[in-house]
């Protein structure tokens, strides 16, 4: 028997704490709308993307948000979705503002209490994957300017990375002790042990580790879920035949690709197989 987790927030994430604030609730709703458009509709009006770029350009160093601008641009996004998908998605996204219980449960304080009340079951293989994205820099920002969509997604990732990198010594998003084997895996992947601020844009890398770390590498949170740049042209996204193309809407600069994704999946499968043989 085995349990596999992929970039899971075992020790919580500061991003969840932010999403429970008034500004964060609006931001989560906007992000959800952007995700639906990027992964299903495929494009959005230039005026909407430009408005979002303006919003994120006004962020101050404390990640203050212009709520009026966010609400307005989110409504523009939802109107785009309504034209293509009807009102079901709008209803789903609207409920995000009404119930943020899942975010509360993933806060570092809540996960600290959860971890204190559980223990690993003997005879079960616990394995995990962990990744981080390169810290936002001028180089990654310039690379993100390849198109209107990549520009806004690059700004979005910078914001998410900055929030997730916050470190509270009272509730650290990491295990009290990382095994020597896991330390070797991290060092082999990155050349050195990642710092406490390192993250994949959603979860701190040290919060992702549980049990045996079977794979580590450069990737953002959506990369490891299969949302990374593929080799198909943008027009292929609308095809209804053949395998669906990969869509990368978070420009993190990780350069994650199908080869790395395959290596991660192979590592997961190998762990599951070894557990089955042992059973």
For 196-243, write each residue's pLDDT tens digit: 999 999 999 999 999 999 999 999 999 999 888 766 554 444 455 555
Q: Comparing 8-22, 95-109, 110-124, which segment has the lowest mean pLDDT?
A: 95-109
Q: Which domain holds residue 238?
A: 2-10+125-278
Of the pLDDT bands very low, low, confident and very high (cuts 50, 70, 90), residue 251 is confident
Mean pLDDT for the chain overall: 78
Structure tokens at 258: 């199908």
Residue 178 lies in a domain: yes
- What's the CA angle centered on 62, arms 59 and 63, to 5 degrees? 40
pLDDT at 126 over 80: yes
Contact of 144 with 136, CB cutoff 8 Å: no
Q: How many residues does the chain have?
A: 279
Give the model's pLDDT for residue 93. Answer: 65
Strand ranges (E), 97-193: 125-132
Structure tokens at 153: 């997604």
Nearest to 207 by CA among 223, 219, 192, 196: 196
Structure tokens at 275: 């557990």
Residue 267 lies in a domain: yes
Structure tokens at 97: 């503002």
Q: How many domains does the chain have?
A: 1
| Of 251 and 67, the one with more pLDDT | 251
Residue 176 lies in a domain: yes
- Percentage of the chain surpassing pLDDT 70? 63
Q: Which residue has the tokens 């690059």?
A: 154
Contact of 5 with 128, CB cutoff 8 Å: yes
Residue 137 lies in a domain: yes
Contact of 198 with 47, CB cutoff 8 Å: no
How would you label 263-279 residue by residue, b for 16+ Cβ within 10 Å and e otherwise? ebeebbeebbeebeeee
pLDDT at 43 over 80: no
Give the model's pLDDT for residue 66. Answer: 47
Residue 180 lies in a domain: yes
pLDDT at 87 over 70: no
> What does the alpha-carbon distance between residue 126 and residue 213 come to, in Å, rounded to a whole number?
9
- Per-residue pLDDT, averaged over 136-164, amounts to 71
Give the model's pLDDT for residue 28. Answer: 77
Residue 111 lies in a domain: no
The count of other CB atoms within 10 Å of the CB of residue 203 is 26
pLDDT tens digits along 96-105:
666 778 889 9
> What does the alpha-carbon distance between residue 27 and residue 43 come to, in Å, rounded to a whole number?
20
The count of other CB atoms within 10 Å of the CB of residue 140 is 19
Of the pLDDT bands very low, low, confident and very high (cuts 50, 70, 90), residue 112 is very high
Give the model's pLDDT for residue 207. Answer: 97
- Percentage of the chain surpassing pLDDT 90? 41
Strand ranges (E), the chain: 2-6, 125-132, 212-218
Residue 70 lies in a domain: no
pLDDT tens digits along 152-203:
677 778 888 999 999 998 999 998 888 999 999 999 999 999 999 999 999 9
- What's the CA angle centered on 215, arms 118 and 4, to 5 degrees? 35
> What does the alpha-carbon distance between residue 104 and residue 206 come to, in Å, rounded to a whole number?
20
Q: Comparing 59-63, 114-118, 175-179, which segment has the lowest mean pLDDT?
A: 59-63
pTM exceeding the 0.85 threshold for the entire prediction: no
Residue 47 lies in a domain: no
């Amino acid at each position: 028997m085995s349990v596999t987790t992929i970039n899971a927030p075992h020790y919580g994430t500061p991003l969840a704490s932010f999403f429970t604030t008034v500004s964060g609730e609006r931001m989560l709703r906007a992000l959800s709308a952007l995700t639906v458009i990027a992964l299903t509709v495929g494009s959005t009006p230039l005026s909407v993307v430009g408005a979002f770029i303006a919003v994120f350009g006004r962020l101050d160093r404390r990640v203050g948000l212009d709520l009026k601008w966010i609400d307005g641009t989110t409504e523009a996004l939802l109107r785009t979705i309504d034209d293509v998908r009807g009102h079901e998605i709008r209803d789903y996204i609207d409920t995000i503002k009404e119930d943020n219980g899942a975010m509360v449960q993933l806060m570092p304080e809540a996960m600290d209490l959860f971890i204190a009340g559980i223990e690993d079951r003997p005879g079960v293989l616990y394995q995990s994957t962990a990744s981080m994205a390169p810290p936002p820099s001028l180089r990654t920002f310039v690379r993100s300017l390849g198109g209107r969509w990549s520009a806004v997604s690059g700004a979005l990732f910078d914001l998410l990375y900055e929030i997730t990198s916050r470190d509270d010594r009272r509730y650290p998003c990491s295990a009290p002790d990382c095994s020597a084997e896991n330390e070797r895996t991290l060092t082999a992947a990155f050349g050195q042990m990642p710092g406490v601020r390192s993250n994949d844009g959603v979860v701190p890398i040290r919060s992702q580790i549980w049990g045996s770390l079977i794979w580590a590498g450069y990737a953002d949170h959506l990369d490891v879920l299969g949302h990374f740049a593929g080799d198909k042209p943008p027009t292929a996204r609308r095809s209804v035949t053949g395998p669906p193309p990969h869509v990368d809407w978070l420009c993190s600069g990780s350069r994650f690709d199908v080869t790395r994704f395959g290596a991660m999946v192979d590592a997961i499968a190998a762990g599951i197989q070894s557990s089955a043989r042992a059973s």
